[in-house]
Structure 1
Amino acid sequence: MSDVRIEDVFVDVPGGSVFVRKWTADKSDNSPVVLLHDSLGSVELWRDFPGTLAQRLSRPVIAYDRLGFGRSSARQGLPSTDFIAEEARIYFPAIISALGLAKFSLFGHSVGGAMALVIAATQVSGCQWVASESAQAFVEPRTLTGILAAKEQFGRPEQLNRLMKWHGDKAQWVLDAWTQTWLSPAFASWSLDPYLGHIRCPVLAIHGDLDEYGSVEFPNRIVSGVQGASQLAILRECGHVPHREQQDQVLELVSGFAASMESGHPDTLAPDNSNKPKPLRGTA
């Protein structure tokens, strides 16, 4: 990926500093796309997706390690049960302020997708569009079952050692931040419902039909709840990480979606066939 420039920087936020990476392809223009990672994720775990996305969209792509993850500062206590809204309210504004971003689009995976949607609801003037991938919209039994299975798996030392490759000595904190928060009875009533009605930018909701952490009720709730135009894309024979399992399809979906926004004709997208997205809902 020699035609993509990579820049790394640390940004101060309340409680420490976060690691930020930016991919810029030749002839990139327009506002950047900011990636938000999942509960065990990091900048490095996006692998080649950000650089390829930057090339396909001809715009910069930015990813960051949330506080406590990857190369960002460690956190002492576990996140509160309001951690998704806190990312939108406390940390994301500090990051875009430091980077000088007035306009941006968002791509969030799993809980990062939920964060992206809350950011869109609270940063109405800055957010141009959102692509949520495998985003949770509420706490579903399948979600808890998947997390319990993962918690048991990571109880084996060799699995936790794999997590240390990406998070170093913060690996146990990362695992606890995910499992203990989501399995907490205090978190059982969480949902995106209070935020969806405030989202007016276009939203693309991508979900695999074999997602082990949530059913298609998640993206259905998202596209039916937002106020702006929305598009649903259910990928067949796909699990929880579409951008890795079916990267070409996700890149096609996002680039087509972004192009339709830039053209000013959001209703002229591919019809619903095979793995193609469903047409946009009308703007409310």
Structure 2
Amino acid sequence: MQNPATATLASEFAELPATASHGPLRIEYRWVNEAAANAPIAVFLHEGLGSIAMWRDWPQALCERLGMRGLVYSRPGYGLSTPRAHDVKWPVDFMTSQARDILPALLDALDIGAQERKRMWVIGHSDGGSIALLYAAQHPDELAGAIAIAPHVFVEDISVESIAQTKQLYETTDLRSKLARYHADVDSAFYGWNDIWLNPAFREWRIVDELAAIRQPLLAVQGHDDNYGTMAQIDTIGERVPHAQLVKLDACGHSPHRDAPDALNDAIAAFVAKQR
């Protein structure tokens, strides 16, 4: 069976120049549903241990249903993108940097201009959901809408406890070998995510105040059985963004696109249809 982390034929790479916030980066990306060449773009932002390969076929299926073209990419440190040097720790505001610096630079590198960005949707899961919220807050006039799936807007005990348990599994079971199928440098991906979430300084991280700047249509989705966050996350989004629509899914954990794909896709399709 082919290793997804080394299956490069379907992926392309964008070179991002060095800036004050990061060195030169090579970003793995892929277009899905390319037949919809003139349709709005949906940008998919993966979870804290995710990559292009870990999305599997969900972005393609969703884009076909929405009639959109999808851009899927692996953030630095993940998949086949530039790995994190093992002595580098992500800063507490690493998600803000992804929304402020990395995603705009990738859009520039792919010649996605202002008019296309105004029609663009960002769809993020977990850490990627938080990045989607931050991008929407930072670019209130350059986006058609945002969808945040199991996002984090502050740190809860349940998140830290589950992430600590995941570290134990990574170091004592076959979890590392399983994740290695999706990342060229699996330790770069795992410890970049795990170390910052378990850093005591990260307990003070929150993006609640930033949410009020979001003006675009916003859908926030959470599963009732999520072991990485409670309904307080999207309830807080609803309080700070009154126009946001909240969807709470039964029999669903932290990954609705895997746990309850039909219910998730129905909710997203209905929400997007209302904005057109």
In 2: Cα distance, 1:138 partner to 1:144 partner: 11
Q: Quick check: 1:206–1:219 contact (8 Å CA) kept in 2?
A: yes
Query: How far apart are the structure 2 equivalents of 1:25 and 1:72?
Result: 22
- Any gaps of 5 or more consecutive residues in structure 2? 1-8
- Rounded to whole Å, the distance in 2 between the matches of 1:79 and 1:232 is 30
CA contact (8 A) 2:155 2:205 kept: yes
Secondary structure of 1:12's counterpart equals: strand
| Structure 1 position 191, deviation (Å) | 0.9
Partner of 1:193: 208
Query: Do structure 1's residue 132 and structure 2's residue 148 form an aligned pair?
Result: yes
- CA gap of 1:53–1:25, structure 2 versus 1, over 3 A, is farther
Equivalents in 2 of 1:24, 1:48: separation in Å?
A: 11
Amino acid at match of 1:11: A
1:260 counterpart residue number = 274
Equivalence for 1:274: none
* Alpha-carbon separation, structure 2, partners of 1:38 and 1:194: 22
Supply the distance in 1 between the matched residues of 2:15 and 2:34 (Cα, whole angstroms): 26
2:61 counterpart residue number: 52
Q: Residue deviations 1:147-169, cap 9 Å, x none?
A: 0111111112522111111112x
Instruction: Indicate the structure whose relative CO is greater, using CA pairs within 8 Å and at least 6 residues apart.
Output: 2
Instruction: Compute the TM-score of the two structures, normalised by the length of structure 1.
Output: 0.86
RMSD: 1.5
Contact 2:99 2:131 in 1 (8 A): yes
- 1:97 aligned partner, one-letter code: D
Among 11, 15, 19, the alignment partner of 1:12 is: 15
The CA deviation at 1:56 is 0.3
Read off the aligned partner of 2:71 and give its amino acid letter.
I
Q: 1:257 to 1:130 in 2, by over 3 A?
A: same
Give runs of aligned pairs for residues 39-78 of structure 1, distance below 5 A. Answer: 39-76=48-85, 77-78=88-89
C-alpha deviation, 1:257, in angstroms = 0.7
**Aligned residue runs from structure 1 range 1-284, under 5 A:** 8-13=11-16, 14=18, 15=23, 16-24=25-33, 26-27=35-36, 29-76=38-85, 77-101=88-112, 102=114, 103=117, 104-156=120-172, 158-168=174-184, 170-226=185-241, 229-262=243-276
Deviations 1:89-126 (A, max 9, x none): 11011011112223111110001000000001111221
Residue in 2 aligned with 1:269? none
* TM, length-normalised to structure 2: 0.89
Cα contact 1:7–1:23 (8 A) shared by 2: no
In 1, distance between residues paired with 2:175 and 2:142?
39
- Larger mean Cα displacement after TM superposition, 7-16 or 111-120: 7-16
Counterpart of 2:4? none
| Structure 1: gaps (5+ residues) | 1-5, 263-284
Q: List per-residue Cα deviations over 1:207-261 (Å, max 9, x = no partner).
A: 000000000000111122126x210000001100001111111111111111101
Query: Percent of aligned pairs with the same residue?
Result: 31
Output the amino acid matched with 2:205: W
Number of residue pairs matched? 255
